[in-house]
Amino acid sequence: MAAEIAAAMPAEIVVAAVLKGSFMFAADLVRALNRVGVATTVDFMRVSSYGESIRSSGDVRIRFDLEVALAGRAVLIVDDILDTGRTLAFVRELLGDRGATLVKTCCLLDKPSRRETAIVADFIGFTCPNLFVVGYGLDFGDRYRELPYVGVLEG
């Protein structure tokens, strides 16, 4: 995936990691981007629409915002999962409005069966069936993020 991103973006980018779920994936991705010659400035934002539920409320809120200036820069949004699409669409529009010259999106997982917004991520790790997944940063009520794999939450 890092090679794909390197081919499609400038050699210097801002990585805007969406917390909390993307933190493990973003860390591995920026190291991989470095290995293929992409210089990154990393910043974080926390955006929420789930709370402690397994269903999105549909109300996207910024809980913690980026600090880096985006005007005139290329930005790669890194998120854990593209589900309904509301969060990623919201963040992409917001960062574009802040003057980024290019905004691309990257998600570890894509769950197209749940899409409610017409959005497609530019870079996707894996397509995910309509199951609630946890691990590798993804959570349920702030639990299971530490798992070194992605698993299905049952029951």
The span from the CA of 84 to the CA of 14, in Å, is 25
Q: Is 110 a catalytic residue?
A: no
* Catalytic residue selected from 79, 80, 83, 139: 83
The span from the CA of 102 to the CA of 31, in Å, is 21
- In the sheet where 12-19 sits, what is the strand order? 61-64, 39-48, 12-19, 74-82, 102-110, 123-127
The span from the CA of 22 to the CA of 60, in Å, is 16
Please say whether the beta carbons of 32 and 26 come within 8 A: no
Q: List the catalytic residues.
A: 83
